[in-house]
Amino acid sequence: MSDERLRVKLISAGFDEDMVFGMERAELMTTYAELLASGKLKVSPGAVVGVGYDPEVEKEKIAFEKQKWEVEQRKWEAETEERRQREEREKQRKGDVEKKERL
């Protein structure tokens, strides 16, 4: 947990703001641990674990990544085709120059 989050939790638990902002990290951690151990601060199970896993959000992320990959793939294919055409034109141009030189 960040220092700022610890400070917010301690202040919301009733600690003096000036005192909390004067604490170093070790003191913040100790004070917060003592507060939890005393039972004065109730922590819900979800708060300890964190946000959790949302299958819908994961589906959206995967769909977005797939779409991004498809765009990159089309771009790569277009660049490859453009490069191939450019090389063919250059080859054709060189062939035309050689024909003119032979004449």
77 and 47: one domain? no
66 and 47: one domain? no
57 and 91: one domain? yes
pLDDT digits (tens, 9 = 90+) for 40-57: 776 655 554 445 677 888
User: What's the CA dihedral at 3, 5, 11, 13 to 10 degrees?
Assistant: -120
Tokens representing 47 are 């708060």
pLDDT of the residue at 42: 66
Q: What is the mean pLDDT of the chain?
A: 85
3 and 34: one domain? yes
45 and 17: one domain? yes
Domain with 32, as residue range(s), is 1-52
45 and 66: one domain? no
Q: How many domains are contained in the chain?
A: 2
47 and 59: one domain? no
Long-range contacts of 4-8 (CB under 8 A, 24+ apart): 6/32
Residue type, 29: M
